Amino acid sequence: MTKQSFLSDKPIETKDRLIFALDFESTGAAKAMVETLDDAVTFYKVGMELFMAGGYFELIEWLIAKDKKVFVDLKFFDVPQTVASAIKRLSDKGATFATIHGNDAMMKAAAATKGDLKVLAVTALTSLDRGDLDDLGFKCDVEPLVLSRAKRALESGCDGVVSSGLEAKGLRESLGSKLLVITPGIRPVDNDDDQKRVVNVETAFRNGADYIVVGRPIKLADDPYKMACDIQDKIEKVFNKSL
């Protein structure tokens, strides 16, 4: 029996499907890595570590000037009006994606002010497992929690979700291709870090991811450019095989 594939059919440039997590302690180090990766990466996630380093929005402008796409991963969480105002201000910065946490009211508020910015709801962080969810007071398994949050995100007007590749398949089975699915926790090599719910490149896309986020496997590689190129080759093969 052939295993069902949920390969993305959205009109996304294949090279844009790889997002590199630009997790560095300074904008100088981040820029140096962007220069190293050169044409191997077109899409960058810029998160809280760089936000605290200073020069965050200048870095976004620098990336966009280099014709790169930007994913602002600050996971906004506050009262709805504050989240809405933050998203509205961010919508003028040229970023492609931004992440939010929160309930229906927060997601609806963000969706109402996003403009061309695509808002992604965080489902369950890939560093969490069943024991972590117990500690946080969630009495359900990861899969139903992720599906519930994704359904609420769709109903609230969000454009997509951030979800482990392990749960992406269930999202596609239940919700079809309506939401963008961005999958972090990609490990093209053996995993021994704090990410727990991980998959490899091929599995993430076969399970329905539209984009994957890769950080440490590229950052810590002996040759980051080559590692990024190898991942791009894997992505190309996944989609070319399906043509």
Q: Cβ distance 227 to 218 under 8 Å?
A: yes
- The tens-digit pLDDT sequence of the chain (243 residues) is 446 679 999 999 999 999 999 999 999 999 999 999 999 999 999 999 999 999 999 999 999 999 999 999 999 999 999 999 999 999 999 999 999 987 899 999 999 999 999 999 987 554 444 454 444 455 455 677 778 889 999 999 999 999 888 888 999 999 999 899 999 988 765 544 444 446 899 999 999 999 999 999 999 999 999 999 999 999 999 998 755
As a CATH number, domain 14-240 is 3.20.20.70
Query: Could you count the other beta carbons within 10 Å of the beta carbon of residue 98?
Result: 24
- Nearest alpha carbon to residue 236 among 188, 202, 209, 200: 202
Q: What is the pTM of this model?
A: 0.89
Torsion, Cα 76 180 182 189, to 10 degrees, reads 180
Residues annotated as part of the active site: 75
Q: How far apart are CA 90 and CA 101, in angstroms?
A: 16
Locate 115 and state its tokens.
């403009």
pLDDT for the residue numbered 53: 95
Locate 224 and state its tokens.
């980051």
Q: Cβ distance 84 to 105 under 8 Å?
A: no
Q: How far apart are CA 212 and CA 203, in angstroms?
A: 11
